[in-house]
């Protein structure tokens, strides 16, 4: 074999080795986790060589897509019940489900000083529009309705609600000024210990059901080294530091 042929053979072997060990992983990501997963994806790729390809949306919509054969290999849900349901229905790799984050709800306005630290602006009910995510599809939307019920405001604000398909849309309604305030995921407005824009009330966890967010490997990812590597990475200290920096508990 000539030196050139030998080098070429070595290059082909290296490429084959690389493609066998560095793969893409298709991930369905709950909309509230958009910013953290983007930060995690960059570190994950540097550390493992695997590439994370994410789609963002509402948990309920992802459930329907997964049941209809969507090509997702890993599911990062905004709740724990949907992955559990998929597990029961035989759609996941057994033993792969775990809680990767516990979410925090916030009442937020893009206007500085509009929302007080105790959320009294909600009880005063002087606003025209209140944005929430669809409570049937998005766990943060469900948590928002529980807070309103606890405050005895369900009926009073019913005509003021602006409903987003997911938490990203609920955030956008407030961000663009179409709603003076809204219930969003703390992770959308928070970084490294502070609210980054506008004003917010961080809702006490006791006011709604825990927003336990579970991840699971789906059947399409059960033989994927990249899927398994991602789940392991999410359980590690590097991912934990990023997740905490966006206001989640672990």
> In this predicted structure, what is the pLDDT of residue 22?
74
Sheet of 98-103: strand order equals 51-57, 24-30, 74-76, 211-217, 98-103
What is the number of other CB atoms lying within 10 angstroms of the CB of residue 20? 9
> In this predicted structure, what is the pLDDT of residue 217?
98
> In this predicted structure, what is the pLDDT of residue 17?
38
Give the pLDDT of the chain (250 residues) as one tens digit per residue: 444 444 444 433 333 334 345 799 999 999 999 999 999 999 999 999 999 999 999 999 999 999 999 999 999 999 999 999 999 999 999 999 999 999 999 999 999 999 999 999 999 999 999 999 999 989 999 999 999 999 999 999 999 999 999 999 999 999 999 999 999 999 999 999 999 999 999 999 999 999 999 999 999 999 999 999 999 999 999 999 999 999 999 9
> In this predicted structure, what is the pLDDT of residue 248?
96
What domains appear along the chain, each with residue ranges and CATH number? 22-102+211-245 (3.40.190.10), 104-207 (3.40.190.10)
Helix-strand-coil split of the chain, %, nearest 5: 45, 25, 30
> In this predicted structure, what is the pLDDT of residue 21?
59
> In this predicted structure, what is the pLDDT of residue 213?
97
Q: Can you tell me whether residue 108 is helix, strand or coil? A: strand
Residue the block writes with tokens 């990501």:
29
Tokens of 147: 């807070």
> In this predicted structure, what is the pLDDT of residue 10?
42
Max CA-CA distance within the chain? 83
């Amino acid at each position: 074999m000539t030196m050139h042929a030998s080098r070429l053979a070595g290059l082909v072997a290296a490429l084959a080795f690389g493609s066998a060990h560095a793969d893409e992983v298709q991930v369905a990501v709950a909309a509230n986790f958009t910013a953290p997963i983007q930060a995690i994806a960059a570190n994950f790729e540097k550390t493992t060589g695997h590439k994370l390809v994410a789609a963002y949306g509402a948990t309920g919509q992802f459930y329907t897509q997964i049941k209809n054969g969507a090509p997702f290999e890993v599911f990062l849900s905004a709740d724990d019940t949907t992955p559990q349901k998929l597990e029961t229905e035989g759609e996941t790799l057994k033993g792969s489900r775990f809680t990767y984050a516990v979410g925090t709800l916030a009442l937020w306005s893009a206007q500085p000083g509009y929302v007080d630290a105790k959320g009294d602006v909600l009880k005063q009910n002087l606003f025209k529009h209140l944005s929430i995510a669809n409570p049937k599809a998005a766990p943060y939307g469900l948590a928002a309705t529980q807070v309103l019920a606890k405050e005895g405001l369900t009926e009073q604000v019913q005509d003021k609600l602006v409903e987003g398909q997911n938490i990203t849309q609920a955030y956008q309604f407030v961000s663009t000024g179409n709603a003076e305030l809204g219930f969003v995921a703390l992770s959308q407005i928070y970084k490294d210990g502070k609210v980054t824009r506008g004003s917010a009330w961080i809702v006490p966890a006791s006011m709604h059901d825990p927003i336990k967010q579970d991840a699971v490997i789906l059947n399409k990812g059960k033989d994927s080294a990249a899927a398994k590597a991602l789940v392991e990475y999410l359980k590690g200290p590097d991912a934990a530091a990023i997740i905490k920096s966006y206001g989640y508990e672990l």
